[in-house]
């Protein structure tokens, strides 16, 4: 069905050295395995305007207190751990003057070649350079690093030196450096940043040093052990220890025609790890048992090969190469090693410190992809939410509500981590942050539970932990909704929608907005699905869940009453009524979009521009990203219109298209998610615009379209969203209990592509072709798959069979 790909499409090559682009490249060249990730910083680099070494372990958070605008504020961060990378070198001073430690900046004039290659197929980063010192001596260096995908506690760096036209010695220092902090985001420079304390160092074997420390408040013990060897032989080594740094200093003889190689292998353990007696001995034992670099590379490549088989993706041209990069970073952040870890979906991956490593609603964009490839990872990520269900219920009680009120930003223990203040870098002012009112995050969690159950058939989760999550979110919405006798409708007041620009009404003395359409419609959906689940679960499980959550028998009926009577506001647009983003949106001022684009060019962050001018975006009909239109991302048209009918509103295709046009003209696309959502919504009606928006979503990180944000961490939701747009958005793929349903919306610019997926445990391959769809079930499967396409009778595809099906003309 598919041809062997050209492996050159698996490489990202960065030629030359540009200090202005290094931090971006470091983020894009991050290596990880779901347990830990390390940015692609040069091994000899330290934190500077050009470089930012960073290593982050999933779920390792720490809380500090800072003083901002005269207020003491707590904040929790994903901790930048000790740097395991340091390996610096120089031509030995005894071989002549000028023996400076090499850095690209210091030796810029002498750089003859400088290339860095990210190999996505094998999960490695290679740096090759050649430089000439001021005495005319040429030295070639090649470094290959990996963060092991088979053993998540291991990482390694191999460095090979070649003296081209001289003989002498090279001095090499291989180290572990504990003098790290969370200083990678300029906006956070006023925050406390030192998370590690009680640092100590030592050595065990002649070739092994260690460093251990603790996080200052979460008290997580962190241990690294580094083994440094010279497999090519020769040279001597000395151990150099300080309180924060453990190093080997080696002297290597070099001459033309003879390479000298240094191999550094590092083990990392924390006190969060299962099945160990302690992180110190575990790290030492693991690094002692580790094979040499070649052995590690073999097993690392084997592990990546297994992942790629489960996530096969063939898309021609540059979109395919970018999609593979997105998939590469998704798997480095959320791999099978994520299963069993107590970790959520960090919005910026394990690639940097933006958003402080917090968990938002990005699993709404991530889980649909994982459900069809790595469902065990999806389940683990939902269990992160389940473990924090008691905290969400406690938060609801403290707010005078029932059920579960999940935080907009989550970290270690489930409390609300949204900061009270945020910095506008344009004005330099710290401003109130009211995004904690985005209670729709609870609906996203319930939606993920339901869709996971549909895609996988995992009733073991859906009817236990998943049911508890859904019922408690439904209970929250039922209590949050207030009856308005004048309108004869339930209303949800004081919330913030996905748009995020609008947090309050102009001149209001309270934050929040009323009747956000996205919030109300998704709440109605949750209430209906929860009531359905409460009635259809097996009796034995139903009683157990009801007992655990204390559900009253009449509650599902109450939920359905609210689900039928929640208010959805409308207002008049230029061409007729449109759905209002929230009550009163249509009364806000219109913005002169052309004037602002002419004045500022890039107006994605319109909120910052207006605030710096002394204005506020709350006064205008302007959205950062899809809000109302998010409904078109979550629900196919038939399901969406059915939802509106359930609520008593006659909304059809014309009304929806009018609404889409209205908000497209009033959206600045200030979020990387915006292009994904809008491309999805437009895929069936406006192909050219959908393609443009998808291309923008693809380029958002590789081209850093947000202007300096990708270097602080990739945008994981947008990356996963582009993948899901291909596998579900352009194919109309839905996994139902008895069938694989497809309703393709092919774009002319993307007429052929293929991918693999697992539908309720059965592997399938999907190959879109012009006017045709090729569906296959591998021979090793035991169960046939029933496929439904519009205009065709359902067909069953047996194991070992490929079936070519015609597509209806669009």
Which of 171, 363, 500, 503 is labelled catalytic? 500
Adjacent-strand bridge partners of 421 = 432
Asked if residues 203 and 178 have their Cβ atoms less than 8 Å apart, the reply is: no
β-bridge mates for residue 269, sequence order = 223
CB 147 within 8 A of CB 39: no
d(CA 593, CA 590): 9
- How long is the chain? 810
Alpha carbons 26 and 785: distance in angstroms, whole number: 43
The secondary structure of 216-233, three-state, reads CCCCCEEEEEEEEECCCC
User: What burial letters (b/e) apply to 71-95, b meaning 16+ CB within 10 Å?
Assistant: eebebbbbbbbbbbbbbbbbbbeeb
Find, among 585, 596, 654, the residue nearest to 623 by Cα.
585
Helix (H) or strand (E) holding 448: helix 440-456
* Cβ atoms within 10 Å, residue 571: 17
612, 600 contact by CB (below 8 A)? no
Q: Which segments within 749-790 are labelled E, that is strand?
A: 753-759, 762-769, 772-777, 785-788
Respond yes or no: is residue 500 known to be catalytic. yes
Cα separations in angstroms, 796 against 45, 737, 785, 801: 58, 14, 6, 10
- Please count the other Cβ atoms lying within 10 Å of the Cβ belonging to residue 657: 15
Stretch (H or E) spanning 672: helix 672-682
Residues 6+ apart with CB under 8 A from 266: 84, 154, 155, 156, 157, 176, 224, 225, 226, 227, 287
Rounded distance between C-alpha atoms, residue 726 and residue 332, angstroms: 20
Q: For residues 801 and 781, what is the distance between their CA atoms, to the nearest angstrom? A: 11
Please check whether residue 238 is in contact with residue 248, taking contact to mean a CB–CB distance below 8 angstroms: yes
Measure CA of the first residue to CA of the last residue in the chain; give whole Å: 25
C-alpha dist (Å) from residue 230 to 90, 252, 415: 16, 9, 49
Paired sense of beta strands 260-270 and 740-741, if any: unpaired
Euclidean distance between CA atoms 759 and 25, whole angstroms: 36
Q: How many CB atoms lie within 10 A of CB 193?
A: 18
Q: What is the spatial distance between Cα 627 and Cα 609, in angstroms, rounded to a whole number?
A: 21
Element (H, E) at 395: helix 389-398
Q: At what angle do helices 317-333 and 716-724 cross, to 10 degrees?
A: 130
Beta strands in 301-374 (DSSP E): 313-314
Give every strand in the sheet of 31-32, ordered side by side: 31-32, 36-38, 55-57
Torsion of CA 754, 758, 762, 763, to 10 degrees: 30
User: In sequence order, what are the beta bridge partners of 754?
Assistant: 314, 767
3-class SS at 578? strand
Backbone angles phi, psi at 147, to 5 degrees: -115, 110
Q: How many angstroms separate the CA atoms of 716 and 442, rounded? A: 20
d(CA 508, CA 733): 44
- β-partners of residue 163 are 139
Catalytically active residues, by annotation: 500
């Amino acid at each position: 069905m598919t041809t062997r790909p050209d492996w050159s499409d698996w490489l990202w090559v960065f030629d030359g050295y540009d200090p202005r682009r290094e931090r971006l490249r470091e983020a894009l060249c991050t290596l990880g395995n779901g347990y830990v990730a390390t940015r692609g910083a040069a091994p000899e680099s330290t934190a500077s305007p050009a470089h930012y070494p960073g290593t982050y372990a999933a779920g390792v958070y720490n809380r500090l207190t800072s003083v901002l605008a005269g207020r003491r504020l707590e904040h929790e961060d994903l901790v930048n751990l000790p740097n395991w990378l340091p390996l610096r070198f120089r031509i030995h001073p005894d071989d002549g003057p000028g023996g400076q430690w090499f850095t690209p900046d210091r030796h810029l004039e002498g750089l003859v070649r400088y290339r860095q290659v990210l190999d996505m197929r094998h999960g490695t980063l290679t740096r090759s350079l050649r430089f000439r010192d001021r005495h005319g001596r040429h030295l070639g260096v090649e470094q290959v690093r990996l963060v092991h995908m088979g053993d998540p506690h291991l990482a390694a760096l191999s460095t090979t030196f070649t003296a081209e036209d001289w003989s002498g010695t090279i001095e090499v220092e291989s180290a572990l450096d504990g003098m790290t902090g969370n200083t990678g985001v300029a906006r956070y420079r006023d925050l406390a940043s030192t998370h590690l304390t009680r640092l100590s160092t030592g050595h065990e074997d002649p070739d092994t040093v260690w460093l251990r420390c603790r996080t200052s408040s979460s008290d997580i013990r962190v241990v690294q052990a580094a083994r440094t060897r010279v497999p090519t032989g020769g040279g001597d080594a000395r151990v150099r220890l300080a309180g924060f740094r453990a190093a080997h200093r080696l002297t290597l003889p070099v001459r033309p025609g003879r390479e000298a190689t240094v191999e550094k292998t590092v083990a990392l353990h924390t006190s969060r790890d299962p099945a160990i007696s302690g992180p110190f001995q575990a790290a030492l034992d693991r690094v002692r048992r580790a094979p040499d670099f070649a052995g590690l590379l073999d097993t690392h490549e084997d592990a990546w090969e297994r992942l790629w088989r489960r996530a096969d993706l063939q898309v021609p041209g540059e979109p395919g190469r970018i999609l593979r990069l997105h998939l590469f970073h998704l798997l480095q952040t959320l791999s099978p090693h994520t299963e069993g870890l107590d970790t959520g979906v960090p919005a910026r991956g394990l690639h940097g410190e933006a958003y402080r490593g917090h968990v938002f609603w990005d699993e709404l964009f991530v889980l649909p992809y994982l459900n069809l490839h790595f469902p065990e990872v999806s389940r683990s990520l939902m269990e992160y939410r389940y473990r924090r269900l008691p905290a969400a219920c406690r938060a609801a009680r403290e707010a005078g509500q029932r059920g579960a009120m999940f935080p907009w930003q989550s970290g270690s223990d489930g409390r609300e981590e949204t900061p009270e203040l945020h910095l506008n870098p344009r004005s330099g002012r710290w401003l109130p942050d009211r995004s904690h009112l985005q209670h729709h995050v609870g609906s996203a969690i319930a939606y993920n539970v339901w869709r996971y159950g549909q895609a996988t058939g995992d009733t073991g989760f859906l009817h236990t932990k998943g049911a508890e999550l859904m019922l408690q979110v439904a209970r929250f919405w039922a209590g949050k909704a207030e009856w308005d006798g004048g309108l004869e409708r339930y209303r949800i007041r004081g919330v913030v929608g996905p748009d995020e620009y609008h947090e309050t009404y102009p001149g209001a003395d309270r934050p929040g907005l009323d009747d956000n359409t996205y919030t109300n419609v998704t709440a109605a959906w949750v209430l209906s699905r929860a009531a359905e689940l409460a009635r259809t679960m097996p009796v034995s499980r139903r009683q157990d869940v009801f007992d655990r959550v204390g559900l009253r028998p009449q509650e599902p009926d109450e939920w359905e009453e609210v689900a039928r009577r929640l208010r959805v506001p409308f207002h008049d647009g230029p061409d007729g009524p449109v759905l209002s983003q929230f009550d009163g949106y249509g009364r806000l001022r219109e913005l002169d979009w052309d004037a602002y684009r002419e004045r500022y060019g890039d107006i994605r962050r319109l909120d910052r521009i207006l605030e710096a001018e002394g204005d506020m975006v709350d006064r205008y009909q302007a959205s950062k990203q899809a809000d109302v239109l998010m409904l078109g991302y979550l629900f196919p048209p038939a399901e969406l219109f059915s939802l509106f009918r359930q609520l008593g509103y006659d909304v059809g295709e014309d009304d929806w298209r009018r609404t889409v046009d209205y908000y497209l003209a009033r959206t600045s696309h200030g979020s990387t998610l915006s292009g994904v959502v809008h491309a999805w919504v437009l895929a069936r009606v406006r192909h050219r615009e959908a393609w443009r928006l998808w291309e923008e979503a693809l380029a958002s990180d590789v081209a850093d379209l947000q202007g300096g944000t990708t270097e602080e961490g990739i945008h994981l939701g947008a990356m996963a969203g582009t993948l899901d747009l291909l596998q579900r958005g352009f194919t109309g793929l839905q996994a139902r209990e008895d069938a694989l349903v497809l309703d393709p919306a092919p774009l002319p610019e993307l007429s052929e592509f293929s991918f693999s997926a697992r539908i309720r445990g059965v592997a399938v391959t999907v190959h879109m072709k012009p006017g045709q769809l090729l569906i296959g079930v591998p021979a090793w499967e035991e169960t046939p798959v029933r496929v439904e396409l519009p205009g065709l009778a359902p067909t069953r595809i047996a194991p070992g069979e490929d079936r070519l099906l015609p597509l209806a003309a669009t």
